[in-house]
Structure 1
Amino acid sequence: MIASLRPTAPHWTGALPVLAVVLLALTWGRSLPVAVVALVSCFLAGAVLAAVHHAEVIAHRVGEPFGSLVLAVAVTVIEVALIVTLMADGGDKSAALARDTVFAAVMITCNGIVGLCLLVGSLKRKVAVFNPEGTGAALATVATVAGLSLVLPTFTTTAPGPQFSTPQLVFAALAALILYSMFVTTQTVRHRDYFLPVTSSGEVIDTEDHAEPPSARAALRSLGLLALALIAVVGLAKAVSPAIESGVAAAGLPSSVVGIVIALLVLLPETIAALRAARRDRVQTSLNLGLGSAMASIGLTIPAVALATVWLPGPLILGLGASHMVLLALTVIVGTLTVIPGRATPLQGGVHLALLAAYIVLAVSP
């Protein structure tokens, strides 16, 4: 995420978040015509790209793996805000939105981002090299929290349907939050070296010595602009969400496709940053971004949504269906086999991308 930084940032990365927030204030709570929806969508895409840039500046200042953590948490803030606001407006029809969005985020990160980065890294340098200790720990945590939060509700019997009772939901939320906290501590404090980039020659990269880190003032400026960009992304995405829902319904697609669209939108910054890292032979950074985002998505979204059920109307459906549980199980198995050697060829990248394609096909045509 660092080599792409230029000594002088493009001027639009500073101005666009401010303009996007102004546009958000002008359009908030209003029914938008098609032309305005198109304008809002353009500013939304620009705000996402600006968020990527400012997250990279902060990452350059704090170093890895803290930089990956900054972007992962920032993206999850977007996801949580979107889910809660849409659930507040949707009532019973949005009962499964949190499940659909979180599961989409898991499939996109663990198969889409991971697969693309392994493919890019291995095609460029014949083999993609990463640290199996850190990557394996991240995958194990994702698999555990996904199983506790998204699989167990399908089989519990206290509450009707694929949902938790209140004590079960409290347990799942606390387990997700505690495991995420332990993961962050492991990644940034106790075993930080497990998550540092490893080049194809086996060199561990602890510092980026090819570019001067930004000053503290520049990093703080980027932190403020990142916050503005995230506010703009959340608000503008909320503004265009009725158009997304109407488009999905008009196309005759299942409502779960809305969750995929939201996940694709909020994970765009992660995807761009991860691909840049993979092209620079920093596949470990890419995996930190992908699996870290999956962990943040479950570990923070489930507790936030559980807390929101106190005032949100309607049920909260978290349990996955049979086909999605099969895809999750395949993702965990394939991910484990990919991680164990610490090296990957284009084949492993292709296998992960095939699982993502299967998920999208089954979402469109269950």
Structure 2
Amino acid sequence: MEATKSESWLSLARKEGPFFAGAVTMVLFLLYGKGWLADLSNPWISGLIFVWVFAAMLWGAFGVVRHADCLADLLGEPYGTLILTVAVITIEVALISAVMLAGENNPTLARDTMLAVIMIVLNLMIGLALLIGGGRHGEQEFNLQGARAYLGVLLPLATMSMILPRFTQSTADATLTPFQEVMFATFTILLYATFLAIQTVRHRSFFMEPADLRQTETGEEENHGHGHPTVSTPYHAIMLILTLVPIVILSKKLAVLVEFGIESLGAPAALGGILVAILVLAPEGLAALEAAGKNRLQRSVNICLGSALATISLTVPAVMVISLVTAEDIILGVGPAEMALLILTLGMSMLTFGGVKTNMLQGAAHLVVFLAYLVLVFNP
């Protein structure tokens, strides 16, 4: 009996390793973190602490993705992808808020993070997904109506949030007045809520695999699990939240390390946004690439376009609330070079998802734009 209990606990520890690693790290930093972060002058110690916290949070993010995938198997699409997107954006908003409130005010962090997410998602992730999927399966099909729905909402929100503030005359820089912040945040939330109603209720079929739609029409059964053993909906929902909590709490600790590292190394300010984007997008990115490799391009589209859309729809209102509460300016408008890349990315996405099939050439074009973005970050 005792051996059986020990085996069950070991099995649980292995299965829920991301949660336990995050929980132990969280407890240790709550107890001793203030002293550890008080003096970061030693680069080796500060580097090790950063790797530890970043690794624990990244592993936790993969745990969140696993439980979201299990919920997707139990609840079906698009609910699974939606749960994954909301969970990941929660991590992103927590990180942005923590970095914004840590140390000196960083008015461009939210903008840099949103731009990094869009560049990574719409160029790096989609580019690699199309290259992998096209290399294995030639042309791949997706649901055109779903892609159009994503882009139809993403374009106006990206323009209002990241381009329009550069041209407003009510402030001297690329910021918004409090009235404009309230109105733009309201517009963003209302439009995203409308999109969610379309995605989850009225037109769920727009976001399903074309093959699944054909199977549904012919009465065949769908069987496209994510390969993770499922337990029950309440179990995975609770574990998703429990795995998410340490990540959110540790975000403040990571924020201190990121702020210190950028200042001490003299690195570009945009690097903070890229680190946040990498942390929150790594699990989603792997899930999108895996789906493309299995010729499930619609799931890749749902993950990639859903992440970009949710980033703007949920991050912008959150940082605007922080701006109003703390009376700190938030610069959302991008510069001329970044604006050109953003417009190019959105235009290419419209062309890529303007048909019903994709190929490797489109993926290569998206990757070139991402490499250009990296060059401009480190050599403006």
Q: TM-score, normalised by structure 1?
A: 0.90
Q: What secondary structure, in the 3-state scheme, does the structure 2 residue paired with 1:311 have?
A: helix
Partner of 1:188: 200
1:110 aligns with 2:112: no
CA apart distance, 1:280:
1.4
1:270 aligns with 2:270: no
Q: CA-to-partner distance for each residue in 1:206-242, whole Å, 9 max, x for gaps?
A: 9642659999962221212211222222333432333
Partner of 2:75: 62
Q: Matches of residues 1-366 of structure 1 in structure 2 within 5 Å? A: 11-28=13-30, 29-30=33-34, 31-32=36-37, 33-34=45-46, 35-92=48-105, 94-199=106-211, 203=214, 208-209=222-223, 218-366=232-380
Partner AA of 1:196 in structure 2: M
Q: What secondary structure, in the 3-state scheme, does the structure 1 residue paired with 2:324 have?
A: coil
Structure 2: how far apart are the matches of 1:262 and 1:207? 40
CA apart distance, 1:53:
1.0
Structure 1: how far apart are the matches of 2:221 and 2:168? 48
Say if 2:215 and 2:221, in contact at 8 Å, map to a contact too.
no
Say if 2:70 and 2:226, in contact at 8 Å, map to a contact too.
no
Q: How many residues align?
A: 356
Q: What secondary structure, in the 3-state scheme, does the structure 2 residue paired with 1:337 have?
A: helix
Partner AA of 2:27 in structure 1: A
Partner AA of 2:93 in structure 1: V
Gapped runs of 5+ residues in structure 2? 1-10, 38-44
Question: Which protein has the bigger helix share?
Answer: 2
Structure 2: how far apart are the matches of 1:73 and 1:318? 22
CA apart distance, 1:110:
1.5
Structure 1: how far apart are the matches of 2:378 and 2:230? 47
Say if 2:68 and 2:236, in contact at 8 Å, map to a contact too.
yes
Specify whether residues 41 and 80 from structure 1 end up closer, same or farther in structure 2 by C-alpha distance, changes over 3 A only: closer
Specify whether residues 226 and 326 from structure 1 end up closer, same or farther in structure 2 by C-alpha distance, changes over 3 A only: same
Structure 1: how far apart are the matches of 2:334 and 2:72? 35
Say if 1:127 and 1:344, in contact at 8 Å, map to a contact too.
yes
Taking only the aligned residue pairs, the percentage that are identical comes to 35
Q: TM-score, normalised by structure 2?
A: 0.87
Structure 1: how far apart are the matches of 2:12 and 2:354? 41
Partner of 1:5: none
Structure 2: how far apart are the matches of 1:138 and 1:20? 33
| Structure having the higher Rg | 2
Partner AA of 1:135 in structure 2: A
